[in-house]
Structure 1
C-alpha cells in the first residue's frame, strides 16, 4: 500500500481479502467514482486478463484528468499540454505491448485507446496498430511529431519491444524536464519531480524482480528506463 492516497488502510485491507482480481474490481466499483466504468467491464469478465481492467482504468483516469484541466484557467494550459503528450506516450506503450497480439480489434480499441492526445489520434492509433513488422512500427513511431526535438530517439534502431518501451519511458522523463525548464513558475517542475520518483520506484521494482528471477544483467538493463 502507498500511503497518502484518498483511501485509508482499512480500504486496502478489505481488498486484500479478495481471492481474484475480479472481486477487487467489484468492491472497487461499489466504492469509487469509476463505478459505471467497472460495472460495464465486469459484465464481460469471462476470459479477460488483468490487463483488461488496467486498460480501462488508465483510460478513465486520463479522461477525467483532461476534463478537469479543460475546465480550469489559463494557468493550467501548460499542464494540460503536458498531460496530452503523456496520453500520446501511454497510447504508444499500449500499441507496443499488444503488437501483433490483438484478437478482437473493436473491443481492444474501445477500451485501450485514450482520446485527447496531442499527436496520436484515433486514425494514427489504428494505423500503428495495423503495422505487423516491428521495424516498420518503430520507425513510424520515431517519425511522429512528438519526437521532433528528440534526435537521439529518432536515431535509434530498436531491436525489441522492451527496448522501445524503455526509450518511450525515457522520452516521458525528458519531456517533463523540458516543460519544467520552460515553465519554472508553474506546477510542472513538481510534476516532473513526481514523474522522476515514479521512474525510480519502477526501476527498483524491475531490478528486484529481475534479480529474483535470475535474469541476465543485459535483460535487466534493457528494461530499466534510467
Structure 2
C-alpha cells in the first residue's frame, strides 16, 4: 500500500470520493440497453443519471444531438473542475498536470474549426475547459478572426513555442498530425518531469504515465502500419515509455502483422497486454484495435489503484473512466443520429 503521512485525511477523503463516483458511472448493461433506444430516449435516459442539471439548463437553447453534445461537454468540464477543488497537495499538482491534455485538445479543436470556417458556436459546443485554459480564455480565442490570431493569443504560454514552429506547416500541408504529435510529446515530457525529485507519489504516477505512452505508441504503430506507405515513424513516436524511439521504428518495418506483434511482445511484460496483442493477430478495423488496447490500459490502472488506494491512481482511473463514459454517450448519440445499426455503434464503445 502507498505510504500515507500523518495528517493525510484529505488524501483518504478524496480517494474515497473517487471510489464513490466510480460506482455511479454508467454500467455496461445500460450501454447495451441504449443501443436499442432512439436519440430522444437516450437523452431522457442520461437526464435521469448524472447529467440532469446540464440537460435541464441547456434544453431551452438546444435540442436533439446538439443538446446531448453540449450537455456532455459541460458535465465533463464541471466534474473535472470539482475534482481539482477537493484534491490536496501533490495529488492536486499531478491531477492538474494530467488535465493539461485538454488544453491541447481544445486548442487543436479551435484551430481546426477556424481553418475549416466553422461558426464559433459550433466549436464551443465540444470544448472541455478542464485544463489550465478556462472557458473565458477559450472564448477569447474563439472570438479571434483567424487561426493565426488564435496562435498569437497563446504567446507566453507553454504550448506557444510548438504552435509557432509547427502551425505554418500544418496550414501548408492541410494536416495537423505532426503539430498534434509535437504538442503531446511536450505534454508527456513535462508529466514525466513532474514525477522526479522524490516527490510523494511520483513513482506510481510515473508508472501510469509510462503505460499510457506505451499504449499510445502501440496504437500509433497499428494505425501507421495500416497506411499504404510507411516511412520513418520516429517523429510520430513519444519518448519515455518502455520502448526507445529506434525500437519503435524497427517494429514499424516488420514485414508481417505476426512479425510486428511478436516484436512488440518481446518488449512487453504485462500479461493482459500480451493476451490482447495475441488476439490482435487477425485483421480488425483500427478503431477496434485502439479500443482493445485502451481497455487494457484502464483495467491495469484499476488494478494498480487497488494496490495504492490512497495515491494519484484512483483519481486518474476515475478521470479516464469518466472521459470514456462521455465518449461512449457521444458515440451512441452520434450513431443514432446517423442511423447506424446497434452492432456498428457497439464496436466504438469502451465498455
Report the TM range for the smaller structure's normalisation: 0.7 to 0.9
Structure 1, 206-215 or 32-41: larger mean CA deviation? 206-215
Q: Rg larger in 1 or in 2?
A: 2
| CA drift at 1:219 | 2.5
Whole-Å Cα distance in 2 between the matches of residues 156 and 11 of structure 1? 45
Q: With structure 2 as the length reference, what TM-score do the two structures score?
A: 0.56
Matches of 1:24 and 1:91, distance apart in 2: 32
Q: Is the 8 A contact 2:295 2:350 kept in 1?
A: yes
Q: Distance in 2 between matches of 1:98 and 1:83?
A: 22
C-alpha RMSD of the superposition: 2.8
Residue of structure 1 equivalent to 2:270: 147
The equivalent residue for 1:171 is 296
Q: Please name the residue that 2:38 is paired with.
A: none
Deviations 1:162-200 (A, max 9, x none): 221111010110111111011112221111111111121
Give the aligned partner of residue 186 of structure 1: 311
Task: Work out whether residues 142 and 153 of structure 1, in 8 Å CA contact, stay in contact via their aligned partners in 2.
Answer: no
Query: Paired residue for 1:124?
Result: 247
Unmatched runs of 5 consecutive residues or more in structure 1:
none
Do the aligned partners of residues 128 and 84 (structure 1) sit closer, same or farther apart at CA in structure 2, a change above 3 Å counting?
same
> What does the per-residue CA deviation read over 1:35-74, in whole Å, with 9 as the maximum and x for residues that have no partner?
2122111242311413332212211111111112123425
Instruction: Give yes or no for contact 1:147–1:153 (8 Å, CA) kept in 2.
Output: no
Does the 8 Å CA contact 1:99/1:132 hold for their aligned counterparts?
no
Contact 2:268 2:274 in 1 (8 A): no
Distance 1:142 1:104, change over 3 A: closer
User: So what's the TM-score if we normalise by structure 1?
Assistant: 0.83
Q: How many residues align?
A: 222
Greater RCO, 1 or 2 (C-alpha within 8 Å, sep 6+): 2
For 2:150 and 2:253, locate their aligned partners in 1 and report how far apart those are by CA, in whole Å: 31
